[in-house]
Structure 1
Amino acid sequence: MYTGNELRDMFRKFFEERGHKILPSASLIPKDDPTLLLTVAGMVPFKPYFQRRVEPPFPRATTAQKCVRTPDLEEVGKTARHHTYFEMLGNFSFGDYFKKEVIPWAWEYVTQVLKIPAEKLWITVYPEDDEARQLWIEKAGVKPERIIGDPENFWAAGPTGPCGPCSEIYVDLGETRGCGRPECAVGCDCDRFLEIWNLVFMQYNRDEAGVLTPLPKQNIDTGMGLERIASVMQGVETNFDTDLFRPIIDFVADLAGIKYKENPKNDLALKVVADHVRAISFMLADGIRPNNEGRGYVLRRILRRAVRYAKLLGIDKPFLESVFRIIQRDYAQAYPELKDNENFIINHLNLEEKNFQATLDQGTQMLQEKVRELVEKGETVLGGSDAFYLYETYGFPVELTEEILAEQGLSVDMPSFQASAEEHRQRAKEQSQQMRAAAESADLIQRAKALGVTPFLGYHQVSCEAKIEGLFVDGDERQDAGEGEEVTIFLSETPFYAESGGQVSDEGVLRTPRAEARVLEVKKGVTGTFYHRIQILTGVLHLGETVEAVVKTSARSATARHHSATHLLQAALRSVLGEHVQQAGSLVTPERLRFDFTHFSPLTPSDLKAVEGLINEAILKNMNVDATEMSLDEAKKSGATALFGEKYGDTVRVVTMGTFSKELCGGTHVHSTGEIGLVKILSEGGIGAGLRRIEAVAGLEALAYLRSLEEQVTEVAQALKAQPADVGKRVQGLVTQVKDLEREVSHLQAKLSKNEAEGLLGKVVEIEGISALAAQVQAADMEGLRQMADLLRGKLKSGVIVLGAVSEGKVNFVTTVSPTGLSGLHAGQIIKEVAKIAGGSGGGRPDMAQAGGKDPGKVGEAIDKVPTILRGQLKK
């Protein structure tokens, strides 16, 4: 029996022996592909090669690719094969070999390496693909009767672009796994016939009219799910019973004090937890951070589902870290990022789990409130929209809601819940379909592809002569463009830095004897071509013309100071806070720097002082700043810091600042740290779970900031008639004086409130035998109103008090019921109706509640309605 790890290695080794380059799995964050949130298939990293936007650096490759898909999230654990995270084994040809090579290889691998009996295998082909059918028969030796035509066997990258027929290999798992129907065959919905491998023959290009044109270079893209083939080779019924999952499931079952395969409901939860924790471990390992948008939201949702289903198993204590350790143990050899990024993964797991537990508690309180309302109304079924709101807002699985309700003899309107869930899914699907790639004309892309990598001269010079090799206006190629037009141009070489790595692009000018243009921004395409967006100020620029390209040196120098300061900042943070600090984003401009990093608590004033001190000490040492190109392996061995989650090429640029800092970086820098001059930290704060941000200025911008502070201190000193050095003491004295006056005012207000409260006792009325006091009073804020209500409650002993007040346009209400539960009255229910009249809402405990309102003019009316409201509630 082969293990999952062995099957992964066997596949790649088989194709390596057939001339394929083994490549590591790409990140789950797709590179340069705005159409995808996550890597969903093995071919995703190779899309630029298949579409020929970039020339492939090798003709054939093989991978085990990490993938995450979530459209069928609700099916995970309910079926034998659905997962969020899975591994796709694949072999790829970029215009090298085609059907006659890949079909015999596939059959050889399945029958001779995996040794699956041929009599258990079935092949499907596209009905019109006679070539593939014949190759299966003649080259692979498959019996004709075991080849089935399937009109679904046609793959396309999208409405337009590369496409072609495909061919699938199925394994017959036996009658015992089938549905028993006489017509049961390949394609049946039961579990008997399992697809294990799909071979895609990318041989056409489809245009907007739907016309198929043969590609000049045909491609191969195959995909075999590791989890699926493991289930076949290990002879188990589901993917979850393979060694890829069982250690995780058994560990979670042990945490919950249960056994796997003893209770179907528990088994579902165990499978969901195992699947989801595996997915979030790999997503975090690739640098995806939980948040409320994009791929971060997908991660957060999967994590919360894992915690919710663990709760159904009775696991109430933090558990994610311990489950991650099992995954790390079994997968880190193949995926070292699980070990390399351990601190980042564990910190986010613990923080998210803790925060979600608080959210889950809030949801429980809301559900109990819904239960109380059902009981009061004499109803037994919770509406589906309410159940879905609990699910979507507080992360409550409907199963948990059903379980809590069942304990009290209640249930959920499941048809209504399903309708709400389906409506939500449709909205999400529509939003997903609206995602498109960045708008670039086909002509622009083709020109960039033809030109290839633009030589960048900007590391060593700030001007050069270059030829205009492409000139586009609104995506259309032109021969020339004139004054006032915005143009995208390609140059034969350039001194302009293209926006990358957080550093903004250079500014500058292009000149000819008869024209001048301003360079607005520069970006680098996937082909390595620099796109220069310019505005022509005077004259006309012509395609093929030679221009003088000149970088704005003042902006370049200021940007370099801030970029070099960013490197010193990261090194200082790691020195002060620890090696767990990792860059999570940055912005470098001529005016300032912004640095985001992983850390799980605010920096103390002493931390910031230490960081700032280390940076400026490094500046004063005037260390050389050197940039060297080397292989990625050499860079890692040298101890260079890389950007977490970033994928680098085989050759990288390492920027070293003495012995203080060594980072992989393609940006522009100063020649020695002394050129930075001075760095001043402006702010530090949190921007998300486990993420902090520092903003700072360097060089002349730091000097300007300090001068601004000096001017402010001088202005304050003049206002206080004090010397600048004495401003702190004078301000502290004023703060103390203000606090004393505030206490005096508060004391006088309390005295006035007491007098007013005693006068209000004469307004007490009897309603159905209950003492009630409703009045509009004077109170500065909600705290003052509560104090008055407490004073009156002490005097009244038994009864209901409703007070309303308006202060600075704000409406406040307070209600008390004493003793608690008096005649079934509930302060929270009373105040809801009172506040509603003034356009507000609120609630609270049975004995005391508070609310706000939006319409100050309705406060009197709301107070007048209190007797009517009380009578209505007493009748209930």
Structure 2
Amino acid sequence: QREKSRADHLAKANSSWADNSIKIDAPKTVFTGYSSFSETDSKVLAIYKDGSEVETAVEGDNVVIVLDKTPFYAESGGQTGDCGTICNSNSGCAVVDDTIKSEGHFLHIANITEGSISKGDTVNASIDSEKRKATMRNHTSAHLLQKALRDVLGEHVHQAGQLVNENACRFDFSHFSALTPEEIQKVENKVNSEIFSAVDVITREMPIEEARKLGAMALFGEKYGNTVRVVQADDSIEFCGGTHVSNTSEIGLFKIVSESSVASGVRRIEAVTGWGVLNLINGYKNTIADSAKALKLANLTELPEKCSAVANELKEKEKKIESLGQQIANSQISGIFDNAKEINGIKVVSAKLENTNKDMLRKLGDALKSKEISFVAVIAGISDGKGTFYCVCTDDAVKKGVHAGKIVQKISAVTGGKGGGRPDNAMAGAGDTAKINDALNILETVVSEML
């Protein structure tokens, strides 16, 4: 998944970075984005277009720009790369759509939108600060979320993957069952409690052994150097190279949107923060307002009661409709035995009925059985575009060798359907409803073979 994401990003500039065939002959990029959202004197070390290095890129070119220092965060650790602009003093400007990293060099995937940019230019590199701030809120909330999950569910919980961007926080973790509504609420409350407590978020670099002594959590399977960056917010302490808020109060508010399974023993929580929560609330508000309007309600508080009343009303109407449908179906087969073909003392009949579901077919079968006639009957019902065959055989017909399950099996096969059942009654689905009449036409032959 990570490789696919990386390849998609690289494809934006039609480059060949994905196979690492391009080597940059320049010092590694210095990242300044932990403390700054812009650099006014970055130098362009290299420009690549279509996989080849060029001296100058002009308007319309899709390129990869390498700088000596940059505030752009490169995608890593589940945090998406920064977007923004790179502009020189000659009105040359590039819009950066994504930032990735290759062997220590930060690759700004960009499009030249104005003028030209050349190797050696001194440029102003500025990230989209609002996007970054929203991403930081979501990243710090992911740390608080992991701590809350371990507090509520137990210390077996470990991060199994994450994605943090400006829109949401997606956190995968090890756990053996779905969270209950009560557990979700406890986790959410714990995260919000840390936010409302306005806890300072402290980031520092230290020897890895010292970090482990602090109890810092490392991502399973990740390789770390001798010196690591540690992010701490109260009791949440993790190894992390991502960008974060300086105080939990900057997150504003945290709301869990969903909890689901992604693999055996792995759960996923998706959540929003800050403006994302307000957008979520406004979305709910609009949905409620639209629903009230559709039901012609002036007072929104009456909505639950009105919905319940409408649901009950619909249920009653459905019962009446089904009852009327059953009466119509009964009337349609009232003369089904008139002029029926008789084989070895057994009457063989069939019928095709529209707007007749499985339950109605069963009731029709019961009605037919109440008649003192030896018979084999197959009724085909069509409801919501789907067809069903239902076969009923009287006990004396079964004793003579007929089998309802085998009958519907053969008949439904004509339509491409399948099914089966007991000797006295069975049901099968119809494949192509246009072939139902053809299927019913072979009933007498099928029964004759059994008798």
Q: Secondary structure at the match of 1:574?
A: helix
2:447 paired residue number: 870
| Contact map agreement 1:805 1:859 (CA 8 A) in 2 | no
Write the distance in 2 (CA, Å) between the matches of 1:539 and 1:491: 18
Write the distance in 2 (CA, Å) between the matches of 1:496 and 1:810: 56
1:835 maps onto 2:426 in alignment = no
Write the distance in 1 (CA, Å) between the matches of 2:308 and 2:20: 67
| Contact map agreement 1:598 1:691 (CA 8 A) in 2 | yes
Note the 1:340-355 alignment, pairs <5 A: none
1:622 maps onto 2:212 in alignment = no
Task: Give the letter aligned to residue 429 of structure 2.
Answer: G
1:612 maps onto 2:188 in alignment = yes
Q: Give the direction of change, closer, same or farther, for the CA distance of 1:587–1:746 in structure 2 (3 Å limit).
A: same
Note the 1:782-801 alignment, pairs <5 A: 782-795=358-371, 799-801=375-377
Q: Percent identity?
A: 37
1:455 maps onto 2:30 in alignment = yes
2:280 paired residue number: 705
Match of 2:253 among 675, 678, 681: 678
Name the structure where helix makes up a greater proportion of residues.
1
Q: Secondary structure at the match of 1:445?
A: coil
Write the distance in 1 (CA, Å) between the matches of 2:210 and 2:359: 65
Name the structure where strand makes up a greater proportion of residues.
2
Alpha-carbon distance, 1:744 to partner: 3.1
Write the distance in 1 (CA, Å) between the matches of 2:304 and 2:363: 36
Task: Give the letter aligned to residue 868 of structure 1.
Answer: T
Write the distance in 2 (CA, Å) between the matches of 1:627 and 1:481: 38
1:693 maps onto 2:268 in alignment = yes
| Contact map agreement 1:473 1:488 (CA 8 A) in 2 | yes
Alpha-carbon distance, 1:803 to partner: 1.4
Q: Secondary structure at the match of 2:70?
A: coil
Write the distance in 2 (CA, Å) between the matches of 1:696 and 1:810: 40
Note the 1:227-246 alignment, pairs <5 A: none
2:96 paired residue number: 519
Match of 1:732 among 292, 308, 314: 308
Note the 1:46-85 alignment, pairs <5 A: none
Write the distance in 2 (CA, Å) between the matches of 1:796 and 1:492: 96
TM-score between both structures, scaled by the size of structure 1: 0.47
Alpha-carbon distance, 1:475 to partner: 0.8
1:588 paired residue number: 164
CA deviations on 1:684-706 (whole Å, 9 max, x unpaired) are: 22333333222221101211221
Alpha-carbon distance, 1:533 to partner: 0.8
Write the distance in 2 (CA, Å) between the matches of 1:647 and 1:821: 72
Q: Give the direction of change, closer, same or farther, for the CA distance of 1:682–1:446 in structure 2 (3 Å limit).
A: same
Task: Give the letter aligned to residue 478 of structure 1.
Answer: V
Write the distance in 2 (CA, Å) between the matches of 1:761 and 1:632: 88
Q: Give the direction of change, closer, same or farther, for the CA distance of 1:794–1:608 in structure 2 (3 Å limit).
A: farther
Higher relative contact order (CA 8 A, sep 6+): 2
Q: Give the direction of change, closer, same or farther, for the CA distance of 1:602–1:854 in structure 2 (3 Å limit).
A: same
Task: Give the letter aligned to residue 573 of structure 1.
Answer: L
Write the distance in 2 (CA, Å) between the matches of 1:571 and 1:596: 13
Match of 1:806 among 340, 365, 382: 382
Kindly report the root-mean-square deviation, in angstroms, between the aligned alpha carbons of the 2 structures: 2.9
1:560 maps onto 2:136 in alignment = yes
Write the distance in 2 (CA, Å) between the matches of 1:687 and 1:828: 40
| Contact map agreement 2:297 2:303 (CA 8 A) in 1 | no
Note the 1:711-722 alignment, pairs <5 A: 711-718=286-293, 719-722=295-298
With 464-473 and 773-782 compared, the bigger mean Cα shift is at 773-782
Consecutive unaligned residues of structure 2, counting only runs of 5 or more, are 6-14
Write the distance in 1 (CA, Å) between the matches of 2:19 and 2:335: 82
Q: Secondary structure at the match of 1:841?
A: coil
Note the 1:183-582 alignment, pairs <5 A: 439-440=16-17, 445-447=22-24, 450-451=25-26, 453-464=28-39, 465-514=41-90, 515-525=92-102, 527-582=103-158
Write the distance in 1 (CA, Å) between the matches of 2:336 and 2:4: 70
Alpha-carbon distance, 1:765 to partner: 3.3
| Contact map agreement 2:417 2:432 (CA 8 A) in 1 | no
Q: Secondary structure at the match of 2:78?
A: coil
- In the alignment of these two chains, the number of paired residues is 437
Consecutive unaligned residues of structure 1, counting only runs of 5 or more, are 1-28, 35-437
| Contact map agreement 2:22 2:51 (CA 8 A) in 1 | no
Q: Secondary structure at the match of 1:814?
A: strand
Task: Give the letter aligned to residue 516 of structure 1.
Answer: C
Q: Secondary structure at the match of 1:815?
A: strand
Write the distance in 1 (CA, Å) between the matches of 2:46 and 2:412: 67
Alpha-carbon distance, 1:604 to partner: 2.3
2:12 paired residue number: none
Write the distance in 2 (CA, Å) between the matches of 1:687 and 1:796: 58
1:855 paired residue number: 432
Write the distance in 2 (CA, Å) between the matches of 1:765 and 1:636: 87
| Contact map agreement 2:205 2:227 (CA 8 A) in 1 | yes
Q: Give the direction of change, closer, same or farther, for the CA distance of 1:574–1:441 in structure 2 (3 Å limit).
A: closer
Alpha-carbon distance, 1:506 to partner: 0.5
Q: Secondary structure at the match of 1:777?
A: strand
TM-score between both structures, scaled by the size of structure 2: 0.87
Q: Give the direction of change, closer, same or farther, for the CA distance of 1:471–1:614 in structure 2 (3 Å limit).
A: same
Task: Give the letter aligned to residue 870 of structure 1.
Answer: V
With 539-548 and 767-776 compared, the bigger mean Cα shift is at 767-776
Task: Give the letter aligned to residue 433 of structure 2.
Answer: P
Task: Give the letter aligned to residue 726 of structure 1.
Answer: E
Q: Secondary structure at the match of 1:446?
A: coil
